[in-house]
Amino acid sequence: MATRSDTAAENGSRFLISDLCKMLESYLDEEQVQDVYRAYLFGAEAHEGQHRLSGEPYIYHPIAAARILAELRLDHKTIVAAILHDVIEDTPTAKEQIVSGFGADVAELVDGVSKLTQIEFESPAEAQAENFRKMILAMVRDIRVILVKLADRLHNMRTLGVMRPEKRRRIARETLDIYAPIANRLGINAVRVELEDLGFAALYPLRYKVLEKAVHEARGHRKEVLNKIETAIKRRVQQEGLQGRILSREKHLYSLYRKIRDKTLSFEEVYDVYAFRIVVDEIDTCYRALGIMHNLFKPVPGKFKDYIAIPKANGYQSLHSILFGPYGVPIEVQIRTEDMDKIAESGVAAHWVYKSSEEKVDQMHAGAREWLRELLEMQTHAGDSLEFLENVKLDLFPDAVYVFTPAGEIMKLPHGATVIDFAYAVHTDVGDTCIAAKIDRQLVPLRTVLRNGQTVEIVTAAGAHPSPAWLSFVVSAKARSNIRHYQKNLKREEAIELGRRMLERAMGVFETSVDQVSGKRLRALLKDYHLKTEEDLLVDIGMGRRPSVLVAQALAPTDHGNASSDETAVQQPLVIKGSEGMVTRFSKCCRPIPGDPVVGVITGGRGMMIHTQTCRNIADDKYPAENCIDVQWEPGIDEEFPVEVSVIVEDRRGVLARVATVIGDADSNIENVGIEERDGLSNNLLFTLTVHNRQHLARVMRRVRSIPAVIKITRTKG
């Protein structure tokens, strides 16, 4: 893999198409290399006259991206796509021209990497999210899409210095948040390390320089010691008759920075700044080499990890152990086979398997495809591109915890995962119907955070549903997206019900009903509103996006067309039950309860908010008149509603407990209490209570007022 030093070489003696073809000849057929050269001619003509900010002809960028993929020894179609990856987006070239010249596979790869430039977005964040969503969906169909995009991003990062500072920081942040983690998730370590260090240098240049200097100084001080350690390892390995390569490496700067930041360590407290890699022939030899190392240097307790028995999510396998080296220098030893080393550096690009059900797909490719399947499931549940991007970001930082199912199967979950995350990892239906859980046969709360080695059992019930409260403690993207998906469906059902009731009420003015509307008239209206179904129309009404009166006017028979102006036509108030759910909410500014005269306010996209008729927000004409509708309480409501009361009491010992006891005895629950000191002789107790209606509240207030220490009690509104 080329490094940043290659950038200087590129600027001096430019890496040309002839150099690329020479690289490709080492592993591709002559005919395939010719296809790459044809792609270069096509791309050079398409980009004719275009230049990058550095002033160089634009075609040098696609060639550089293709070089990165050639170093990973990818197939010729991926190399061709890398050379053509910007022609659809930045030139008049149509996708059909690429299909006719280079085939449908290449055209799909190029189209998958191209941004959505023809669509207007409300914000740059939304544009970024929608482009990312498009790329991910293309990546699900063909994983080579993301390999081309990673190569494109890596070369852009190498040449980031010509950008304006604010754009440089934005691109660096996006690289660290999205592209480097994707490279890590696919196991392409060589690309991931360089993306992280380049992003770190661009986003935090001062921190980068300070850390780079500290590592450089430590390297100088410890060079002799490290040489002695390497010599000792080589000598002992040879003495034991093991065949293998001994390599030394220094932890790259961004990884070092994250460890110092996340664990609040000093530079001296980081154990694995220096590591030695022992690469052997077989898995059995790895464990023999581990025993030799533990015999040579004393291991640090609790600092051994076996990624061979339990590989990382990206397929990475190796043995890791921190050792006490001579002179107090802590060192990390990594032991792996040649195949593991190859996979660790190149990931899914290590030995390309593409659309071949007959070939044996190794563990890492299977893991990558499983991840892509989960991404597809997440995007079908996400409400919009920004939410999808948020879910993918959550999924890209999986510091894993390993737990067991009752059958003994190992499950990998993100660090901090709870019982609910485990339930959704088993299956979406298990998560949706989860009601309880056992860890090591003991019942535990659903918000319990899991630890390595625990056995988790989920208890489900057929009629159970996800709780919105779960969103406050789940950490996995799969759990979060499924819970939100359920909430959205529930909200839609409630909006349909409210919209139907509001439309029926409005249709009553025209002496007709929704059921009497002709199908032809309804279809015509849906077409005018660009809606697909009657349910979509009802959702729009229930969520406040479309006034029910205007819809009723459009749906009413023509002979009732002027009924809205008829003085005898009176709209009946909309009846509310107090349990309508997420689309009907009760305002916190006035806390309406049954018995209060109320009014409904339609808020665009959020449903209906219920206020008292005397609420200051209504009186101040904060809402347009057409958004306010008459509502009334359904008789015999048996729900509980929060209400706020102020109780001024004498400053006596135990008065708060006395008031709280009386409130409880009056069948009211205290949700919250606050205390305000008034004049040193009295205090103001602010209670949020739950009551059934005004009569219940009056009964509570009478009982509180009878306490000798109570000076005054009033209901507060806002």
Dump pLDDT digits (tens) for 694-703.
Answer: 999 999 999 9
Predicted local confidence at residue 140, as pLDDT: 67
With 0.75 as the threshold, say if the pTM is over it.
no
Residue 221 has pLDDT above 80, yes or no: no
| Distance of alpha carbon 706 from alpha carbon 701, whole angstroms | 9
Mean pLDDT of 209-237: 83
pLDDT for position 399: 63
The confidence score (pLDDT) of residue 536 equals 84
SS3 at position 412: strand
Indicate the angle between helix axes 477-508 and 534-542, nearest 10 degrees. Answer: 90
Query: 31-40, 167-176, 226-235 — which is least confidently predicted?
Result: 226-235
* CA pair distance 371, 184, nearest whole angstrom: 13
Contact status, residue 555 vs residue 515, Cβ threshold 8 Å: no
Pick the CATH number of 398-475 from 3.90.228.20, 3.10.20.30, 3.40.190.10, 3.20.20.70: 3.10.20.30
Q: Which amino acid is at 76?
A: H
d(CA 450, CA 709): 50
Q: Are 687 and 649 in contact (CB under 8 A)?
A: no
- First-to-last alpha carbon distance for the chain, in angstroms, is 64
Please classify residue 530 by burial: count the beta carbons closer than 10 Å to its beta carbon, then call 0-12 exposed, 13-18 middle and 19+ buried.
exposed
Which residues are catalytic, by number? 89-90
Least reliable range by pLDDT among 224-228, 396-400, 633-637, 666-670: 396-400
The H or E element containing residue 24 is helix 17-24
Model confidence at 570, in pLDDT bands (50, 70, 90)?
very low
Is the pLDDT score of 128 beyond 60? yes
Nearest partner of 434 among 403, 475, 468, 464, judged by Cα: 464
Does residue 543 contact residue 599 with C-beta atoms inside 8 Å?
no
Residue type at 134 in one-letter notation: K
- In this prediction, residues 346-367 reach a mean pLDDT of 50
Return the SS3 of 254: helix
* Phi, psi (degrees; rounded to nearest 5) at 452: -55, 140
Highest mean pLDDT among 148-162, 392-406, 407-421, 560-574: 148-162
Kindly report the CATH class assigned to 641-716. alpha beta
Do 612 and 597 form a contact (C-beta atoms < 8 A)? Answer: yes
Specify the higher pLDDT residue, 360 or 660.
660
Helical pair 144-158 and 76-83, crossing angle rounded to 10 deg: 50
**Does domain 217-349 bear CATH number 3.40.50.620?**
no
Sequence-distant contacts of 372-378: CB under 8 A, at least 24 apart: 372/139, 372/140, 372/143, 373/140, 374/477, 374/478, 375/136, 375/139, 375/140, 376/137, 376/140, 377/428, 377/478, 377/481, 378/477, 378/478, 378/481
Distances (CA, A) of 81 to 66, 108, 138, 417, 697: 8, 9, 14, 39, 72
Cα separation, 421 vs 342, in Å, equals 33
- Please, which residues bridge with residue 439 across strands? 442, 456
Percent of the chain with pLDDT over 70: 82
Q: Where are the domains of the chain?
A: 5-114+143-203, 217-349, 398-475, 485-585+603-625, 641-716
- Confirm if 425 and 413 have CB atoms less than 8 A apart: yes
pLDDT winner (highest mean) among 408-417, 435-444, 525-534, 580-589: 435-444
Residue 33: pLDDT band (50, 70, 90) is very high
62-110 per-position pLDDT tens digit: 999 999 999 888 888 989 999 998 888 888 877 888 888 899 888 888 8
Per-residue confidence band for 157, with pLDDT thresholds at 50, 70 and 90:
very high
Helix or strand or coil: residue 131?
helix
Considering the four listed CATH numbers 2.60.40.420, 3.40.47.10, 3.40.50.620, 1.10.3210.10, the one that applies to the domain covering 5-114+143-203 is 1.10.3210.10
Per DSSP, what are the bridge partners of residue 324? 298, 330
373-to-130, 140, 141, 532, 671 alpha-carbon distances in Å: 19, 7, 10, 29, 44
Tell me which of 326-330, 614-618, 645-649 is least confident. 326-330
Label residue 565 by pLDDT band (50, 70, 90).
Answer: very low
Contact yes or no for 491/497 (Cβ under 8 A): no
Split at pLDDT 50, 70, 90, the class of 340 is: confident
